[in-house]
Amino acid sequence: FLLFGVMCYLSIIPVSINYSKTPETSPDVIKKNFFAVYKATPLSFWGSFISGIILGAIYSFLPIYAQLNSLQPSYIMAITIAGGFLLQWPLGHLSDLFDRRKVLIASSLCAAIPSILMLVLPQSAMLSYILCFMIGGFAFVIYPISISQACDKFDLIYTRFVVGLMAATYGIGAISGPFIASLVMEWKVSALFLFIATVSILLSILGIYFSIKYPKITPKEEKGEFMPISAQAPIGADITSKTIELNKENTLEEAAKTAETKTDETKKDSSSDKPDLK
C-alpha cells in the first residue's frame, strides 16, 4: 500500500509539468429537461445505471469472493481492472465505427458469458483470473460508451449537463448495486456472478428493445470521438496554470531587476564621461 501510495503521488508530477493548453469551456451550463434527455437517449441512462450496479458489486464483493475461494484478492482485482483498462480502446474504437448501441449490447452480452462460466465451470485459479479479466474488459466499457452515445445526440453546449446526468445515474447504480448484490450473495457467494450476468443480460434486452423502437442511427460524421479518460486532470490544469503564472511573475521580476541594473550602470557611465568643468 505504501508503494502504491508513493506511485500515486509521483503520478502528479508528469501531469503538473504538462504545459499543454487546456480546452476553453464556457462557464455557462445550458440545461435541458430531464425527460427530454431520457427520451432522446434512454439506453444511455440504463447503460450508466447498470454499469454502476455491476462495478459497485465488483469493487465491493469480488475481493470477498476471492478470499473465500482461496484466490488472491489483490491479483483478481488487478486483473479485472486491467481487463477494463486494456479493452476500452478497441471497444471504444468499434463504437466510433459502428452503431454504439450494437457495441453496447454486444459488450453487455460478452460480460454475461464469462460470469455464467464462473458459475458452471470447475474452480481453477487460472481460469478464474482469465474469466474475471473478460468480465472487467466488457463491463468497464459500458459506462463510457453510454456517455458517448448520449453526447452524440446533443450539441456541445449541452454536453456538460448531459454528462452530469449520466454521472448521477451511474452513482445511483453504484450505491444500489452493492446492496442488491449482498442480498443475492446471502444465498451463495458465487451468486455474485449470477447477479452480474442477470443485469448484463437485462441491459442487452433493453438495448435490443430501444434499437427496435428507435431505429435511427447517429451518422458517423456526427459522432464525437470515444474518450476513455479525460484529456487532462483538473488538478493538473490547476497546478500547471499556477506554475505558469508563478514563472511569469518571476520572469517579470527578473526582467525588471535587470532593466534597473542596466539603467544604474548607464547613469554611472554617462556621469563619468562628462568633462570636469572645474
- The DSSP 8-state label assigned to residue 21 in this structure reads P
Assess if residue 112 is contained within a domain: yes
Q: Is the pLDDT of residue 232 over 70?
A: no
Assess if residue 96 is contained within a domain: yes
Quote the mean pLDDT of the chain.
78
217 backbone dihedrals φ, ψ, rounded to 5°: -105, 140
Is residue 152 within 8 A of residue 224, CB to CB? The reply is yes
- Cell 481453477 belongs to 124
Q: Which three cell numbers stand for residue 156?
A: 456541445
Q: How far apart are CA 78 and CA 83, in angstroms?
A: 9
What percent of the chain is modeled with pLDDT above 70?
69
Assess if residue 10 is contained within a domain: no
**Please, where are the H alpha helices in the chain?**
2-10, 12-16, 34-40, 42-68, 73-86, 88-97, 100-120, 125-139, 142-151, 159-185, 191-213, 234-273
Assess if residue 183 is contained within a domain: yes
Q: Is this structure's pTM higher than 0.75?
A: no
- The total number of structural domains in the chain stands at 1
Assess if residue 232 is contained within a domain: no
31 backbone dihedrals φ, ψ, rounded to 5°: -100, 155
Q: How far apart are CA 203 and CA 187, in angstroms?
A: 24
Q: How many residues does the chain have?
A: 278
Which structural domain range is residue 88 located in?
A: 54-221
Once rounded to an integer, what is the mean pLDDT over residues 91-112? 87
Q: Is the pLDDT of residue 100 over 80?
A: yes
Task: Please tell me which residue, 252 or 76, carries the higher pLDDT value.
Answer: 76
Is residue 58 within 8 A of residue 181, CB to CB? The reply is no
Assess if residue 32 is contained within a domain: no
User: Within its chain, how far is the Cα of 57 from the centroid?
Assistant: 18
Assess if residue 233 is contained within a domain: no
Q: How far apart are CA 17 and CA 15, in angstroms?
A: 6
Cα–Cα distances in angstroms (integers) from residue 6 to residues 11, 14, 75, 233, in the given order: 9, 14, 20, 18
Q: Is the pLDDT of residue 276 over 60?
A: no
Q: How far apart are CA 168 and CA 177, in angstroms?
A: 14
Task: Please tell me which residue, 17 or 135, carries the higher pLDDT value.
Answer: 135
What's the CATH code of the domain at 146? 1.20.1250.20
Once rounded to an integer, what is the mean pLDDT over residues 161-174? 90
Q: How far apart are CA 103 and CA 223, in angstroms?
A: 14
Q: How far apart are CA 258 and CA 253, in angstroms?
A: 9
Q: Is the pLDDT of residue 230 over 90?
A: no
The pLDDT confidence band at residue 218, using thresholds 50, 70 and 90, is low
Assess if residue 237 is contained within a domain: no
Q: Which three cell numbers stand for residue 171?
A: 452513482
Is residue 173 within 8 A of residue 50, CB to CB? The reply is yes
Q: How many CB atoms sit inside 10 A of residue 118's CB? A: 22
- CA-wise closest residue to 106 among 98, 230, 156, 69: 98
